[in-house]
Structure 1
């Protein structure tokens, strides 16, 4: 994975996600069952916070996963947001933890303010990271460019979950598509455009393809 491409995709993904959540009703339901926009925002906030920890946790190589095989650790689940965060007893426990945590803020705008502080900090840390280095996260060692690609992929998928008028950053959506190609073992089906592919392959839309979903 090219460092500059992955870093640019992450910066664009977080920028467009910020714009989308700012423009979207935070109490509007999302594609993640049981989550409103504020819950989804809190989930992605946790991802940005994890990124800051990872960038401060350099690890000796070699990496044991890349931007595709990283996702093998996370089994697709139809009733939760998927992605890299977890708490306690799996997806259902994490979904409830996110809702309780987000509701602890007096107003949804409180979650947004923390995100607006954290996301740019994560992007700056990504820029300062060693392109040839590795970090530790989620029990794995991963090369910095591949780690950035996982963050951009997750941000793009969750941007689609918002069902916002503003689309995800194209750079991040393309990385998400390539990640799914890697998990699928071939290029995306010709019948699907990139957005439909990401939605079907992650279980956000029903699909007749029995290989989906590839990740939750």
Structure 2
């Protein structure tokens, strides 16, 4: 099921999501860069580097036309997104090591801001139906752009765990996350969560309560929908 036609234009969702994330990144000092996040084992600077890497991947993907039909869309992209434990642990270590090599956090933050701006510009110029390749799959560019917005939005929630004064994710990004999660669930979630809480619970960042399990019924066993 393609969600390309639902909600705001993909490029507009990404602009809002990346803009909100960057608004936090530009306030990070060296001291704050070592605070914990919602990602196990990662400090703020580690998460910024991870999101920089994701933005770089998006920039490459938007300039990598695929010679075959899409095999994923903005929802099904996440269906097999459950990295195996050893690979995930190695990825966390790599990110920690490389992020710590920036002697001045401003260097990392500026690089993120520049790269995010480039991705937003590329997204605005991309034909939404153009098949593009990333991570072994092919998606329409519009669907790829929506996945990038969801990634940034979920990690925005992680980023501000120890930054209570920081602004939260964009409404556009949270709305896209809800549409994606409802798509994975196969129906609108029957719980009275706001968008941010839904994103936290559905990605394993917050536990299901007994009441939540009662509302979800058999679908409770499917949570988290992706991690």
Tell me the TM-score normalized by structure 1: 0.90
Provide the rounded CA distance (Å) in 2 between the counterparts of 1:16 and 1:151.
13
- Structure 1: gaps spanning 5 or more residues: 80-88
Coordinate RMSD, CA, aligned: 1.7
Quote how far apart the aligned CAs of 1:76 are: 6.8
1:214 is paired with a residue of what secondary structure? coil
1:130 is paired with a residue of what secondary structure? coil
Quote how far apart the aligned CAs of 1:61 are: 3.8
1:59 is paired with a residue of what secondary structure? coil
Contact in 2 for aligned 1:76/1:214 (Cα 8 Å): no
Q: Which moved more, 1:177-186 or 1:201-210?
A: 201-210
Q: Which moved more, 1:18-27 or 1:109-118?
A: 18-27
Work out whether 1:13 is the aligned partner of 2:7: no
| Moved >6 Å (runs of 4+) | none
The structure having more radius of gyration, on CA atoms, is 2
Counterpart of 2:78 (choices 58, 71, 77) is 71
Q: Which moved more, 1:170-179 or 1:17-26?
A: 17-26
Quote how far apart the aligned CAs of 1:167 are: 1.1
Provide the rounded CA distance (Å) in 1 between the counterparts of 2:182 and 2:129.
25
- The correspondence of residues 54-65 of structure 1 with structure 2, limited to 5 A, is 54-65=61-72
**How many corresponding residue pairs?**
206
Tell me the TM-score normalized by structure 2: 0.86
- Structure 2: gaps spanning 5 or more residues: 210-219
Quote how far apart the aligned CAs of 1:115 are: 0.4
Provide the rounded CA distance (Å) in 1 between the counterparts of 2:111 and 2:146.
23
